[in-house]
Structure 1
């Protein structure tokens, strides 16, 4: 029997109803036709024009995404037991798909785990979170201690939870930026905001206070392993190296030599530290440079000196409005890389922007190859690691494109 509804009702358009029934959890402010009085950030019931129940979610009056659904089951009660079941479900999924790689993984991937706007990464003994929706912000006092307890009961030592809420997008939810440790009862605060992890046999120092996003990009874990296999015995140029992950995987995988480049001096310093940690400083050298400036110079002066070029740039677009300019940026670096490589060389290239769809990315690569007067022989096409699951009914969860080509 369905429970008596206790939440304010939000009536939505037929368009929103169709989207919800197709499995998408977002309702935009333009799709709401009526609303009972509600508390900002609280749970509301979403109904169609005839009054039929469609789902329950968190409402945020400052966001264009006005409601984020967390359930379409009218029998759900959103108590602590509900959230504990959902957290356990997410953790059990990671244990299944990551196996021995569970010590460093994404534990919660927002909408893909039905925690809209919440990211949680595990770095050995530290959980690092990013909260981008008001509903999840209000649920932190329940969710974070529960998650720490679930992992602890499963044999993982959790020394702390660190919040990386220093992102401008929180303003869209009416939230302030901040970062720092979330207090856990009975757990003393760590004395440092760095921790050591091992991924694919490579050791890293993760600065989860100051590093990009949550401190380290876990989504490329298996793509780095695939790249390392290609780089054995070869001379490699790693562009946008950040803290050196592709470069160090390539070197540990047997590359003859790796030249790694990033525009951030801080990132290069961290990459050099990671190289020393792995005893790879004689196999990898690092340079602080703008890749857009460097690649044309290398095409002019060092053509054919590299057997592999790796392109792992940051997202060039975070909205549909800037897709065209982003496409030009992607084409520029890929065109230059194709010109730099000898025939038979390998191009490893990717995009982490959801808005740069796979169709657009492939179209861009075709155009770059035509302009460079080369052909691309595809070796592999990959996506993000399975701890960043893709929901087919939520396209926003499908963001990472990763290709390995031989240039012929």
Structure 2
């Protein structure tokens, strides 16, 4: 299919020339190249106002991000050949970094494939197509993944809320093989059972693996509290590296049951304290009011800021959470605080931690300032790809 020509307004190509790959609808010269009527996901060629060719992209006239650039080589539009090349490139990085095939294989824009996320669990691939362009190329994407990795099972987890922004339906579908049931995943010497169909995201959060491993250096404290614990990866890692007792808080009873099962499986059951189900803020206040204190508190919540307009409310929510965590710490305690909100800058994250410390009457020392693992590479021109902040803080 021949690509439509899409022209930008004057000077709107600067961000693309700097390496970014998004085009916003208000940057398009709609008199010269109307967006209305273009089919979501259709290929386009991007041009600056003066006629300079910028790249191959796909379009969605119904989205604020109306086009995403996929190639800066005029001879290489989005095609099976380009998909294969990008997937081989992504796989080569992960195979250099990881001994076993458990990692994020494709991380969207950072791997040159905007709208595509692939997590690998051995012989299972869990795929998310989050944009109209990748949905349109679904058959080619799946064929390329099969050719490059030869999986036995391939699951489409197209149930992400971001699909709604692209006008796409949500669904979960096996497209290769049948449901293998729970997946055995090993991280830092521990084994966890992962449910790729019903679990959060694709079943696991690979992006925190390196930060969890840092607990061996910073987090071998006597009493630990893991909040928003999900499957207990943080807390059980703390137990494995020396914590005497670890308590867990999560809103999901099923998640807490899996924490207990994983503790048994890894010989750590005697180190598990309370398993508290409920709203994290309420649970933290209840624990605080009992006078119980911990040597390490781990706070790894879901994103509090999903849209730019939510930044102020989200910053206040993080500050309340961090203050509660600090109030539960014994003197010279360790706070591990995370944010996966890409709208929250690292600077603002640190500032909020400091403000929470002052409100709690505490002093902070930042010991380790972590981000996502290298299987979630950062695109230097796209700040949104540097979304994860994980701070290890000594609280005095």
Q: Same fold (TM over 0.5)?
A: yes
What's 1:349 paired with? 337
CA distance in 2, matches of 1:75, 1:397: 27
The aligned counterpart of 1:74 is 74
What is the match of residue 186 of structure 1?
A: none
The alignment yields a C-alpha RMSD, in angstroms, of 1.7
CA distance in 1, matches of 2:47, 2:73: 13
Pairs aligned (count): 391
Residue 57 of structure 2 is matched in structure 1 by 57
Query: SS of the counterpart of 1:212?
Result: coil
- Check conservation: 1:330, 1:364, Cα contact below 8 A: yes
Matched ranges for 1:289-368 at <5 A? 289-303=278-292, 305-368=293-356
Give TM-score, length-normalised by structure 1.
Answer: 0.92
Equivalent residue, structure 1, for 2:27: 31
1:131 aligns with 2:129: yes
Structure 1, unaligned stretches of length 5 or more?
153-157, 184-188
8 A contact 2:342–2:386 mirrored in 1: yes
Q: Which moved more, 1:167-176 or 1:343-352?
A: 167-176
CA shift in 2, pair 1:55/1:256, >3 Å = same
Report how far residue 6 of structure 1 moved. Answer: 4.5
The residue number in structure 2 matching 1:205 is 193
Residue in 1 aligned with 2:251?
263
CA distance in 2, matches of 1:50, 1:11: 9
Matching residue of 1:401: 389
Give deviations 1:159-208, integer Å, cap 9, x for gaps: 2110111123212222111001113xxxxx23434211111111111111
Distance in 2, Cα, partners of 1:168 & 1:222: 27
- Name the CA distance, whole Å, in 2 between partners of 1:227 and 1:95: 25
Q: Secondary structure at the match of 1:210?
A: coil
Match of 1:251 among 218, 236, 239: 239
Give the secondary-structure state (helix, strand or coil) at the position aligned to 1:345: strand
Whole-angstrom distance in 1 between the partners of 2:283 and 2:58: 47
- Partners of 1:125 and 1:250 in 2: how far apart? 29
Aligned to 2:44: 44
Structure 2 unaligned regions, length at least 5: none
| SS of alignment partner, residue 6 of structure 2 | strand
SS at match of 1:236: strand
Alpha-carbon distance in 2 for matches of 1:322, 1:6: 40
Contact 1:227 1:348 in 2 (8 A): no
* Deviation string, structure 1 residues 73-94 (Cα, Å, up to 9, x no partner): 2232443222211110111111
Whether 1:182 aligns to 2:195 is no
- The alignment partner of 1:344 has SS state of strand
Task: Show the counterpart of 1:16.
Answer: 12
SS in 2 for 1:251: helix
Name the CA distance, whole Å, in 1 between partners of 2:308 and 2:78.
35
Q: Which residue is 2:138 aligned to?
A: 140
Question: How many angstroms apart in 1 are the aligned matches of 2:158 and 2:345?
Answer: 27
Matches within 5 A, 1:223-234: 223-234=211-222
Q: CA deviation at 1:227?
A: 2.0
Deviations 1:260-303 (A, max 9, x none): 11111122122222222222222123221222012222223224
